[in-house]
Amino acid sequence: MIQSHPRHELAHLANVELLTPNMEGSLWFFKELLGMREVARQEDSVYLRCYEDPYHHSLKLTAADEPGLGSMAWRATSREALERRADALDKAGLGTGWKSGDLGVGRTWGFESPDGHQMEIIWDVEKYQAPEDLRSRILTRRSKRPLQGMPPRRLDHVNLMASDVTVQKDVFESALGFETRERVVDFTTDTEIGAWMSVNILGHELAIMRDMTGAKGRLHHLAFWYGVPQHNTDAAELCREYGIEIETGPDVHGITQGAFLYVFEPGGNRIELFGNSGILELEPDFETVTWDLADFDTGLAIGGAKLPAETYFIYGTPPLPDQKSLLAPSNVPSRVRKLDPEFVKLPVTESIN
């Protein structure tokens, strides 16, 4: 089936705001363990970037009572494309209007997914210029690779939980030009359980999975890209040694063919470290691939890793009231724990009924 919706109006995922109830712990995770660099602080937010991210920042950490997604920004392919998509979203009743830009971005059109996920479209951006001491000799690289931690190269994708996958997917296709690369269907009820979507050749930059709790508007995970699957194993070692809880992996999903490692950062958000880009889609007339939920093991993990049903398919951020009892102190590095005695609130698998 040749897609007829507006293609090439969005370029890629530019930045994501993550909410954290534990700023010190989250900063330790992103800066020390993942080696991301801080570029700015403003009010309750800290702005961070990976060493190959193209713009001012890719991650904005904002202090909040609960973990979750603050907002996420898509960069349009032109100023005119931004205007056209704003108009389409306004007509769909999803626009929240123009606002002046955050640090590093200009005029911004805000909108909500049908489930209430906060999003933005941007065009004017500040291209990152590294200071002299961080300038890379590899000229396609925006800054030197950091010396500490296991630094990912760039922001990769966002996975959202949704009360109705089809409703979300239809809006992203019709109003924003996303292509659905792969989906999972429960054919016993003809219900879409998940959709993996992209506006460029990546296998996905946006995934939408059914929230089995029925909740709306939650974040499943935010992913950063290594490009080298071995780095996921190295990152898993660091997580083990420094007390960051691993949910599952390293392994490779059949869906997207992405090499995954899922961990919980100290604020309680699930983070995926993405060892490669998986399948790239170059065909202009590709057909959406459909996986059957009844025969799904290969789609989940080619190597057989288990995605824990008691967390992977029900835990998102913000956690539901009855999931807050799942949050418990964890074995975090003592020098981090010293920063905040209330420190880590992580989902603990064995305490889940």
Residues that bind Fe ion (CB under 5 A): 159, 223, 272
| Cβ distance to Fe ion smaller for residue 10 or 273 | 273
Among 273, 265, 282, 281, which Cα is nearest to 228's? 273
Q: Which residue is associated with the tokens 């000799």?
A: 137
Q: What is the largest CA-CA distance in the chain?
A: 59
> Closest separation between CB of residue 319 and Fe ion, Å?
19
> Closest separation between CB of residue 274 and Fe ion, Å?
7
> Closest separation between CB of residue 204 and Fe ion, Å?
7
| Cβ distance to Fe ion smaller for residue 104 or 299 | 299
| Cβ distance to Fe ion smaller for residue 159 or 323 | 159
- Which helix (H) or strand (E) segment holds residue 2: the answer is none
| Cβ distance to Fe ion smaller for residue 203 or 347 | 203
Cis before 318 (ω within 30): yes
| Cβ distance to Fe ion smaller for residue 166 or 257 | 257
> How far is it, in rounded angstroms, from Cα 184 to Cα 150?
32
For the stretch 34-37, contacts whose Cβ atoms lie closer than 8 Å and that sit 24 or more positions apart, written own/partner, are: 34/149, 34/150, 34/151, 34/152, 34/224, 34/235, 35/146, 35/147, 35/148, 35/149, 35/150, 35/151, 35/152, 36/146, 36/151, 36/152, 37/134, 37/143, 37/146
> Closest separation between CB of residue 106 and Fe ion, Å?
29
> Closest separation between CB of residue 59 and Fe ion, Å?
16
